Amino acid sequence: MMRCVKWHICGKRVGSHQKKLCWRKWRMCGECAVIYHPEAYSEGYIKKIRSIIKKQGKRKITVDKISKVLQ
């Protein structure tokens, strides 16, 4: 099992290596990659992930950080 680099925050794991940008470049899940590297993603995708994180309610501070990037 591969774990996200920020596993202690998000708790995400995958069974095998994925060919996605977030795993290839930074070894992060999609949510963490958008938070720490928003410049690599489109504005629409950032908004989508932001709403997912808001619904989970785990990371209030990081949602605020994403909001600042979008402004």
The tens place of each residue's pLDDT in the chain, 71 residues long, gives 788 888 777 778 876 666 777 888 888 888 888 888 888 999 999 889 888 887 877 665 555 666 565 55
> For residue 34, what pLDDT is reported?
86
Angle at 52 between CA 47 and CA 70, to 5 degrees: 20
Question: To which residue do tokens 């992930």 refer?
Answer: 49
Tokens linked to 17: 């290596």
3-state secondary structure of 14: strand
* 26/22 Cα distance (integer angstroms): 6
**Residue 2: strand pairing partners:** 14
Of the CA atoms within 13 Å of residue 5, those in its CB half-sphere come to: 12
